[in-house]
Amino acid sequence: MLVSIAAGCKSNSVLGKAGLEKNTAPPNIIFLMTDDQRWDNMGCYGKPEFNTPNIDKLAAQGVTFDKAFYAVAICMPSRVTMMTGRYNSNHRVGFVAPDDYTLSQADFAKSYPAILKNAGYRTGFIGKVGFTVTEEAMRPSTPKEHFYKDHMGGVFDFFAGSETRDDKGLVIWPENDLGLQEIYRGGRENSGRTLRTGEAMMRFIDTQPSDQPFCLSVSFYAVKHDRDKDMYIPHFERFRNTDMSVPNNWVEGDNPELPEVVKENARGVYLHRQRSSTPEMHQKLVRRFATQGYSVDEQVGFLVKKLKEKGLLENTIIIYTSDNGRFQGSHGLFDKCLLYDESVKAPLIVYDGRIPASKRQRREDALISSVDMAPTIVSMAGLETPASMQGNDISGVLNKTQDMSKWRDAVFMEDLFLAEMFSKRYNGNVDEINQNLIASNKSYRSRGLRTHRWKYIVYYEHHPKIEELYDMDTDPSEQNNLVNDPGHLEILKKLRKKTEELYKKAIE
């Protein structure tokens, strides 16, 4: 296996930039992703009441990014973006027409796990898959069967995954791994979805050959949903009486300041009424999300301990992020998707055990996109990134060899989700339904960008277009839309143009 890796490496040029010896073995890479975890719902991002000591320690010992953003902020397309390094408008995998395709096997073959597998890495996947791979891209993107073994079996050596819950439709291999079977045996006491995910992580490490590097992708089912069965109830006792902080842009009841097209059509508006629109509802909800975050944090601690015990930590890279954020009542919204920071700002922590502590312990404010994850992982393995990947390799930012004057000055973001289209995704005339929604001015699809200072959003299918502009330095909660302020006309024109330029690059 090591022969094939050596043959595919770039003479360890990336590792050399990090100040490592040229003959260093390829690193192990662990990509940890939570589900719907808002960026600030952990101690290292300013909310100590969430009690995430292990994640906080990982952040303190690694690089913590303060300006990382999702290229798209809803699970299916976001996961595909991070695995393939391609924008949503490019890969077109999503929940609603016209961008409602599955991911073809040919495109999956250019994802980071496939590339590392071909180079000799042992690859694993644990948790929520969230998208479907088929022989050819097809519609709709949410078929009734997923054929994980048939279509992903050649990429992953170790797999314990399902679409949304690990107690429904779970598929595991190797089929003869009795330890893996025991982890997911029905009826086990004191077991929850996050604990099982953690146990499967440990199983992967315990079964790892000593002469082969590995790439493990872990997609926690938490912190999505907040039913009792979604939580490990003993952990809830830690938060039962905790007074959770309330964001200054949380809105009780409806928010009259939202764009009309959003107020009238977006799913997050009515979900807020149902779930987070009173102080009591907000506290209950966030305590339950904190419980799940704590359970994830515990597994991160177990993982680091295991890597230390196995003597692997010094040659392992751990990346921690989520697939999208969630409003939790901010802006009078509950859901995600929309391009406000609660939805599109990402937690991102990178710990590289190969680098001396003094050179990796810092906060970083470079603009990072979720589309950067795949090319970065491929580069970290010492491999060439395929031309299909549209993101940037952030290795130079991590090891401070990047000329920051040549780094991006804006990240592109888009939201292609419409709630009404989602409810009709199995209809045979989805394209006609979509055109009717646009014609009736009910589309709130948007795109925009984030610079170090500015946020620009345009609802481009509405007539006339609706725009939002925020000065994030003075208004980080996005409360004062400056789009009609004559004093900001020039920056508005500049950001309009830049957004369209980035969109055209995204669809190339």
CATH number at residue 473: 3.30.1120
- Residue 33, token pair as written in the block: 């992703």
Q: Which of 178, 158, 273, 169 is nearest to 218 (CA)?
A: 158
* Sign, CA torsion 222/288/299/353: positive
pLDDT value of residue 193:
95
Q: State which residues form the domain around 366.
A: 2-396
Give the C-alpha separation, 209 to 501, whole Å: 47
Give the β-pairing of 411-415 and 446-450: antiparallel
- Residue 242, token pair as written in the block: 């905790």
Residue 312 and residue 420 share a domain: no
The answer to whether residue 492 is domain-embedded is yes
DSSP state of 67: E
Residue 187 and residue 76 share a domain: yes
Exposed, middle or buried, 118 (CB in 10 Å: 0-12/13-18/19+)?
Answer: middle
pLDDT value of residue 23:
45
Residue 483 and residue 356 share a domain: no
pLDDT value of residue 34:
98
Residue 418 and residue 390 share a domain: no
The answer to whether residue 401 is domain-embedded is no
The answer to whether residue 65 is domain-embedded is yes
The answer to whether residue 404 is domain-embedded is no
The answer to whether residue 402 is domain-embedded is no
CB 414 within 8 A of CB 87: yes
Q: How far, in whole angstroms, is CA 212 from its chain's centroid?
A: 27
- Residue 377, token pair as written in the block: 């992982």
Residue 208 and residue 76 share a domain: yes
Residue 327 and residue 244 share a domain: yes
pLDDT value of residue 5:
52
Dihedrals phi, psi of 103, to nearest 5 degrees? -95, 125
List all residues 6 or more positions away from 25 whose beta carbon is below 8 Å from its beta carbon.
2, 213, 315
E strand intervals along 247-369? 316-322, 345-352, 362-364, 368-369
From 336, 371, 396, the end of a domain falls on 396
Mean pLDDT by 10 residues, the chain (508 residues): 42 39 79 98 97 98 98 98 98 97 98 98 98 96 92 98 90 97 88 95 98 98 94 94 97 98 97 98 98 98 98 98 98 98 98 93 98 98 98 97 97 98 92 97 98 98 98 98 98 98 97
The answer to whether residue 268 is domain-embedded is yes
pLDDT value of residue 17:
40
The answer to whether residue 464 is domain-embedded is yes
Give the C-alpha separation, 365 to 138, whole Å: 39
- Residue 494, token pair as written in the block: 């500049």
Continuous segment of H or E residues that includes residue 306: helix 279-309
Residue 279 and residue 208 share a domain: yes
Overall number of domains in the chain:
2
Q: Which residues pair with 481 in a beta bridge?
A: none
Residue 237 and residue 128 share a domain: yes
Q: pTM of the prediction?
A: 0.95
Q: What 3-state DSSP class applies to 126?
A: strand
Polymer length of the chain: 508
